[in-house]
Each structure stands twice: as structure tokens, then as C-alpha cells.
Amino acid sequence: MPRMSLELVVTAIVILVVALVMLTIFGTGMIGVADLGTARSQCANEGGGSCRATGQLPATWAVKTKSVRATGSNDVQLKSCQELIGGGCGTTCQSCLFAVPAMP
């Protein structure tokens, strides 16, 4: 009876280790890659929400944190929300045409 329990425990540990190795190897490929339109929409939501709540853009607004795949392409590039929104959008809510809370 104890031998069977030991085999069961060892088998469970081996399965867990293999699963962790597989997740480590293939998990990096599962990082969220968005198409251009989706990434722009996410940035607009993040920027607009942050401007309405705090009067400022998110701290990572100008940092390249979005993995974006251009339409019709397999190339993935890191882009900042500032780049994705474009159109002269700078580092302020006003330059990006986001509403800011009214001052009392």
C-alpha cells in the first residue's frame, strides 16, 4: 500500500513539473497581442477614464507597453498609447482631447 501512494505522489509531482515547464515555454506566446483598432480603442478607454477620474493621463501613456499587430501583417511591435492615438496627442488630457473633471 505505501509503495502505491509513493508512486502516486511522484507521478503527480512529475506532471506538475512538466506543466510548469510547458507554461514557461509556451506562456510567453500568449501575451495579449491586439490588432491596431483594438489597441487604439483600449488606449482611448484608458486615457479617457484616467482623465475623467484624475485629470491626468495614465503614467504609462508614453511608454511602449502595447503589443500591436498591424492589419494584414504578422509583425508585432510595441507601441505606446500616445503613438496609437496619434493626431497630435501629447502627454496631457487636453492635447489628446479627453474630458477632464471640472474644478470646483
**In the block, which residue shows the cell 500568449?**
30
* pLDDT bucket at 46, cuts 50 / 70 / 90: very high
Give every CB contact of residue 96 below 8 A, 6+ residues apart in sequence: 47, 51, 57, 82, 85, 89, 90
Query: How confident is the model at residue 104, as a pLDDT?
Result: 59
- More confident of the two residues 71 and 103: 71
Query: How confident is the model at residue 63, as a pLDDT?
Result: 93
Domain map of the chain by residue range? 1-28, 31-104
- Look at residues 82, 92, 90 and name the one whose alpha carbon lies nearest to residue 43: 82
* pLDDT bucket at 37, cuts 50 / 70 / 90: confident
**In the block, which residue shows the cell 504609462?**
60
- Say whether pTM exceeds 0.85: no
